[in-house]
Structure 1
Amino acid sequence: MKRTRLITALDTQNIDQAREWARALDGHTDAIKLGMEFTYACGLPAVAEIARDRSLFLDLKLHDIPNTVAKGLTSLAPLGASLLTVHASGGSAMLQAARAAIDEAYPEARRPCLLAVTVLTSLDQQGLHEIGIDATPREQVVRLGHMAIAVGADGLVCSAEEIAPLRDALGDKPVLVVPGIRPAGASADDQKRIMTPAQAAQAGADWIVVGRPITRAHNPAQAAAAIQDELRNA
Structure 2
Amino acid sequence: MLKINYSNIPKIIIALDFCNKKKAMKLVDLLNPSLFYLKIGKEMFTILGKKFINELHQLGFNIFLDLKFHDIPNTVFNATKAAADLGIWMLSIHASGGKKMLMSAKKALESFKEAPLLIAVTALTSFKQEDLKDIGIQMSLQNYILILSKLSYDCGLDGVVCPGKEAKKIKLLYGDKYKIVSPGIRCIHDSAFDQNQIITPKQAKNFPIDYIVIGRSITSSKNPIKKLNLIIQSMQ
Q: TM-score, normalised by structure 1?
A: 0.92
Structure 1 residue aligned with 2:206, among 202, 205, 214?
Answer: 202
Q: Are 1:24 and 1:220, in contact at CA under 8 Å, matched by a contact in 2?
A: no
Matches within 5 A, 1:130-149: 130-149=134-153
Distance change in 2, residues 1:30/1:176 (3 Å): same
Matches within 5 A, 1:154-173: 154-173=158-177
Q: Distance in 1 between matches of 2:234 and 2:11?
A: 11
Matches within 5 A, 1:114-153: 114-153=118-157
Question: What residue is the counterpart of 1:69 in the other structure?
Answer: 76
Structure 1 residue aligned with 2:180, among 176, 186, 189?
Answer: 176
Matches within 5 A, 1:92-111: 92-104=99-111, 106-107=112-113, 110-111=114-115
Matches within 5 A, 1:2-81: 3-26=9-32, 29-52=35-58, 53-81=60-88
Query: Runs of at least 4 residues of structure 1 off by over 6 A?
Result: none
Q: Distance in 2 between matches of 1:72 and 1:140?
A: 26
Q: TM-score, normalised by structure 2?
A: 0.91
Q: CA deviation at 1:103?
A: 2.0
Q: CA deviation at 1:173?
A: 2.3
Q: Distance in 2 between matches of 1:164 and 1:117?
A: 17
Q: Are 2:12 and 2:214, in contact at CA under 8 Å, matched by a contact in 1?
A: yes
> Which structure has the highest helix share of the two?
1
Q: Distance in 1 between matches of 2:45 and 2:19?
A: 8
Distance change in 2, residues 1:216/1:28 (3 Å): farther
Between Structure 1 and Structure 2, how many residues are aligned? 229
Percentage of matched positions with identical amino acids: 37
**Structure 2: segments with no counterpart, 5+ residues:** 1-6
**Structure 1: segments with no counterpart, 5+ residues:** none
Q: Are 1:13 and 1:38, in contact at CA under 8 Å, matched by a contact in 2?
A: yes
Q: Distance in 1 between matches of 2:151 and 2:84?
A: 25
Distance change in 2, residues 1:28/1:103 (3 Å): closer
